[in-house]
Amino acid sequence: MAVAVSVPRDRLRDPALHAIADKLAQGERLSTQDGVSLFRSPDLLGVGALADAANRARHGDVVTFAANQHINPTNICVLRKTCVFCGYARLPKEEGAYRYSLDQVLAEAEPARNGMTREFHIVGGLDMQAGLEYYATMFRALKREHPQVHIKALTAVEIAHLARIEKLSWSDVLTSLKEAGLDTLPGGGAETFSAAVREQIADKKLGGADYIGVHRTAHALGIRSNCTLLYGHVESFEDRVAHMEMLRDLQDETGGFLAFIPLAYHPDDNELGRRLGREGSASTGFDDLRTLAVGRLFLDNFAHIKSHWIMVTQGLSQASLHFGVNDLEGTVVREKVYHAVGAHTPQAMSLDALLRLIRGAAKIPAERDSFYRILRRFDKAEAA
């Protein structure tokens, strides 16, 4: 629920922010126009001050992370030619195409046995040869070998793909996967919901209403999920706010979303970047901070706003802890998807580095589980 937020007027240089600040002080919900005004305001620090106050009202100075491990079992994808922002997917016979066997997945998961990994984050392409049984067998084996590790797997787009190739309903697919060990859904595949935008960047991909529909179905089955927004390509600020509004509406209805994660578009090594002449020029730091801050303020029914440091750099993620963010993507082992489109960040961060980053922002690091329950705090005196 919305929390009342108060920021001194002298911190808001843009008069347009004053009316928004008044609403926030009353615990009132922001309108679509308010969301657009926050994106258009020249006063980034004012927007950040509001978002920071909203974040502190919920979480104080605590910043959470989860020690997770990414596994990308297949990069073969039937939408290889139509998701023009994606540099990860391959056609079955294309150079670089791969699909892990079960043994390869288990080998990839092996570091979790003695490490601190508490979550497998599993996503991949829409591979016609990787059906329901492929994933159900994988999840059963992972749960057998690593019973303590939570399985967050398969985007709404992948769930809908499995339903289509198996001729089952979304609910049937989700129920089978839950029985096999699936715990929650990641938020990928949302991109930007606007049909006009999708037509340009992901013409054949599951539409926004169906993305919402899969998550609604998952929530009804007791499977909680995350959600995302891909920004910084051809979408407008209005598109971003309309996207967030659809997420806010579903959250009002089900309360099933755990976190909102804005994802910055990377233009390198993909068709869209070439078309836009944007290769080598990713989103700006201002836009990254602003999008996170607006997410915090507009999504008043979301407890958690997460920064994905793999996409926006560790330094910017650290700064975002003062722009409404309360959660950082954790220690990630072998991330492939964003590095395939030109993310130049490291592929993993050690616990020590993560603690240093959070403490460097004058915040208190805390490890959480996949449901955002705090497992241990790393207060200053405590050693990692």
* Spatial distance between the Cα atoms of 201 and 180, rounded to a whole number of angstroms: 33
* Spatial distance between the Cα atoms of 187 and 100, rounded to a whole number of angstroms: 22
| Binding segment toward ligand SF4, per CB under 6 A, in 73-81, 267-275, 287-295, 348-356 | 73-81
Write out the binding residues for ligand SF4, residues 149-178 only, by CB under 6 A.
Answer: 157
| Binding segment toward ligand SF4, per CB under 6 A, in 75-83, 253-261, 316-324, 354-362 | 75-83
**Contact call for residue 126 and ligand SF4 (CB under 6 A):** yes
**Residue whose CB is less far from ligand SF4, 79 or 162:** 79
Report in angstroms how near the CB of residue 116 gets to ligand SF4 at its nearest: 29
| Per-position x/- string for 186-205, each x denoting binding to ligand SF4 as judged by CB under 6 A, each - no binding | -------------------x
| Per-position x/- string for 86-125, each x denoting binding to ligand SF4 as judged by CB under 6 A, each - no binding | x-xx-----------------------------------x
**Residue whose CB is less far from ligand SF4, 121 or 322:** 121
| Binding segment toward ligand SF4, per CB under 6 A, in 36-44, 58-66, 80-88, 143-151 | 80-88
| Binding segment toward ligand SF4, per CB under 6 A, in 21-29, 64-72, 82-90, 323-331 | 82-90
**Residue whose CB is less far from ligand SF4, 12 or 206:** 206
Residue nearest to ligand SF4 (CB): 83
**Contact call for residue 77 and ligand SF4 (CB under 6 A):** yes
* Spatial distance between the Cα atoms of 246 and 226, rounded to a whole number of angstroms: 14
> φ and ψ at 338, to 5 degrees?
-80, -25
Q: Where does this chain bind ligand SF4 (CB under 6 A)?
A: 77, 79-80, 83, 86, 88-89, 125-126, 157, 205
